Structure 1
Amino acid sequence: MPNRIFLIHGYVEDPTIFDQLVPLLPPAEYVRINLSEEFARWQPIGPINVRSLANYIAGQYNITAKDVVIGHSMGGWTAINIKEVTGATAIQLGSWTDQKKILFPTDNLTFIRFLLVTGVTQSKVFNSFFKRQYPFDESREVYNRLIDGSRQMSRPYLWQQLQTLFANVPPLTVQPDLRIHARPDNVVRYPDEPFVEVPGDHFCLVCHAEAVAKPIRELLSNRP
């Protein structure tokens, strides 16, 4: 078993996104990373990207190749970048290694920041539109809760997350040890590389936790 298993949540999520999954995984020292708290502790000055976040988390927790990092969505993007700088085992859930896989109307950070600072991103009208467009009844409650919660987040924290998603970053030289994805995911396109397909949608780790847990257990059981 690994020294520790780190859990990193996605955009506008928090560590509770893993509540259904963790009880189905082997006993271990689980470390739930709360990115809101981490950014508040870090207080980066100037632009950031996912690699600078990965370096910060790796240094803050002394992550090594003996550790495992499981990340959902943006958390999986962070996890693979932590593997890049530490050699840790990386498990991606509904995530990517190519930022072009993110299904978002634009990746132009200048425009995205304009929407944020003008209040459009957190407006009731904007968020109601996205909630109406969401196609999956199974995970609708999860999605709506996250959208509603994002309206209460500080703009600096949202901007830090958006930079983590879209800011340019040096190319990866590593690949995740395990990719888990649901094909109907409307937030992230499914990978071009081999992956374990599970039922559900972007929030398969909540609505189909056992299907997600099974390949993770298998990977961990075969790990030195």
Structure 2
Amino acid sequence: MFDRLTSLLPPTEQIRINLADEFRRWKPSGSVNVREVAQYVIDQYAVNADDVVIGHSMGGWIAAYVKELTGAAVVQIASWTNQKKILFPTHNLSILRVLFLSGLTQSRFFTELSVRQYPFDESRTFFQTLLSGSRQMDRRYLWFQIQTLFAKVSPLSVQPELRIHARPDNIIAPPDEPYVEVPGDHFSLVFHPDVVAAQINSLLSGSASGTRQRPDN
């Protein structure tokens, strides 16, 4: 997801966080929410106020709580600080638990229907690849994702330094707060990395020397 973008950012230390790998190491028992996930990321990677966390989609949501807990600077790409911005038919965790733990959302019928209904030619093949990959994912990890997205959590008292969003995004609605509009859709960082990178580099140019960039996905 970040390959094209990170090559356009300053050559500082970059650490990529793959949440599927983290979940396999963490193996949380019971329910989780985004704040608990953020605390886990902080503990694992010693994130502090000198870091810049760049998060796409769910990664940006987690990054906002990393900022809440550490004071790190945050860049959100196609993300949110209000769960109501997630464009999904239901946010009811009881219904979502059945859908995801039953494997229904990983079925060939569901994934093929989602691809047929996907409105953007530019990123259609990329979207299809992501959905195909999700069919192989551990159902427990998918449930972990759903809880991270939708579980109730204490409101944020901080906001990201930079929000980057493509208005046509059909997965996450645009923020109500000020944001930088970029071309493309939910995957603008993949298909328009130069535009996205320009905004991030503008922010980083005012960062303290030695700041580490930690792209989060």
Give the TM bin, normalised by the shorter chain. over 0.9
How far the C-alpha of 1:116 sits from its partner, in A, is 1.6
TM norm structure 2: 0.95
Aligned to 2:206: 222
RMSD of the alignment, in Å?
Answer: 0.6
Of 53, 56, 62, 2:37 maps to 53
Residue 123 (structure 1) shift: 0.7
The two structures have a TM-score, normalised by structure 1, of 0.92
The structure with higher relative contact order (CA 8 Å, sep 6+) is: 2
Amino acid at match of 1:95: S
Deviation at 1:223, TM superposition (A): 1.4
Runs of 4+ in 1 over 4 A off after TM superposition: none
Distance in 1 (CA, whole Å) between partners of 2:95 and 2:142 is 14
Q: What does residue 6 of structure 1 align with? A: none
Runs (5+) with no aligned partner, structure 2: 209-217
| Counterparts of 1:180 and 1:211, CA distance in 2 | 10
Residue of 130, 138, 141 corresponding to 2:114? 130
Over the matched positions of the two proteins, sequence identity in percent amounts to 60
1:170 aligns with 2:161: no
- Distance in 1, matches of 2:185 and 2:119, equals 10
SS class of match (1:192): coil
Alignment of 1:1-224 (within 5 A): 17-224=1-208
Work out the CA distance in 2 between the residues paired with 1:155 and 1:216: 34
SS state at 2:163 partner: strand
The alpha carbon displacement at 1:128 in A equals 0.9
| Map of 2:211 onto structure 1 | none
Whole-angstrom CA distance in 2 between matches of 1:92 and 1:216: 10
Classify the secondary structure of the residue corresponding to 2:105.
coil
Structure 2 distance, partners of 1:135, 1:128, is 13
For residue 122 of structure 1, report the CA deviation from its aligned partner.
0.7
- Any idea what SS the aligned residue of 1:106 has? coil
Q: Could you tell me which amino acid in structure 1 is paired with residue 184 of structure 2? A: G
Unaligned stretches of 5+ residues in structure 1? 1-16
Q: What letter matches 1:168 in structure 2?
A: K
Deviation at 1:118, TM superposition (A): 2.1
The count of aligned residue pairs is: 208
TM superposition shift of 1:186: 0.3
Please list the CA deviations of residues 131-181 of structure 1 after superposition, one character each: whole Å capped at 9, or x if unmatched.
Answer: 100000001111000010000000011111111111111000000000000
Contact 2:34 2:151 in 1 (8 A): yes
Partner of 2:59, secondary structure, is: helix
